[in-house]
Amino acid sequence: MNTKIFALLLIILFFFAFGCSAPVTEEPDKTSNKTNETIQQRNETTQPNTITKTEDNKLNTSPESTVDFDKIREEVIPSKGINLGIKWRDIGPRTVKSGALNLTKFEIIMKRNGKTLTTEQMQILQNGSNDYIIIDHDNSLFVLDVFWAFGLVSKNPVLESSPMTENMDFIPRFASTGGWPVGNVGGGELFASKKLVTLTDAQQKIVEEVAANTYRPCCNNPTSFPDCNHGMAALGLAEWMAYQNATKEEIYEALLAANSYWFPQTYLETAVYFELQNKSWNDIDPKEILSANYSSATGYYNTKQKIKDVPQLSTISGSCGA
Query: How many H helices and E strands in the chain?
Result: 17, 5
Share of the chain above pLDDT 90, in %: 72
Q: Please return the burial class of 204, using the count of CB atoms within 10 Å of its CB with bins 0-12, 13-18 and 19+.
A: middle
Count CA atoms within 13 Å of residue 98 on its CB side. Answer: 29
User: What pLDDT, in 10s, does the model give residues 63-81?
Assistant: 444 567 899 999 999 999 9
Residue type, 294: Y
Q: In the prediction, which pLDDT does 68 show?
A: 77
Residue 311 has pLDDT above 50, yes or no: yes
What SS3 string covers 98-144?
A: HCCCCHHHHHHHHHHCCCCCCHHHHHHHHCCEEEEEEECCCCHHHHH
* Rounded-to-10 torsion of CA 11, 17, 23, 25: -170
Rg of the chain on CA atoms, in Å:
30
Between CA 299 and CA 215 the distance in angstroms is 10
CA 257, 263, 266, 269 dihedral sign is positive
**What pLDDT band is residue 111 in, cutting at 50, 70 and 90?**
very high
Instruction: Tell me which amino acid residue 123 is.
Output: Q
pLDDT at 50: 47
Is pLDDT at 302 greater than 90 in this prediction?
A: yes
pLDDT at 262: 98
Asked if residue 7 has pLDDT above 60, the reply is no
Look at 6-10, 219-223, 238-242, 274-278 and tell me which has the smallest mean pLDDT. Answer: 6-10
Q: How far apart are CA 249 and CA 253, in angstroms?
A: 6
pLDDT tens sequence across 154-212: 999 999 999 999 999 999 999 999 999 999 999 999 999 999 999 999 999 999 999 99
Distance CA 318, CA 322 (A): 13
Residues 6+ apart with CB under 8 A from 314: none
Please tell me the distance from the alpha carbon of residue 50 to that of residue 311, in angstroms, as a whole number. 11
- Average pLDDT of span 287-308: 95
Q: Which residues pair with 132 in a beta bridge?
A: 87
Task: Give the predicted TM-score (pTM) of the model.
Answer: 0.79
pLDDT at position 34 over 70: no
Average pLDDT across the chain, whole number: 84
In angstroms, rounded to a whole number, what is the distance separating the alpha carbons of residues 112 and 106? 10
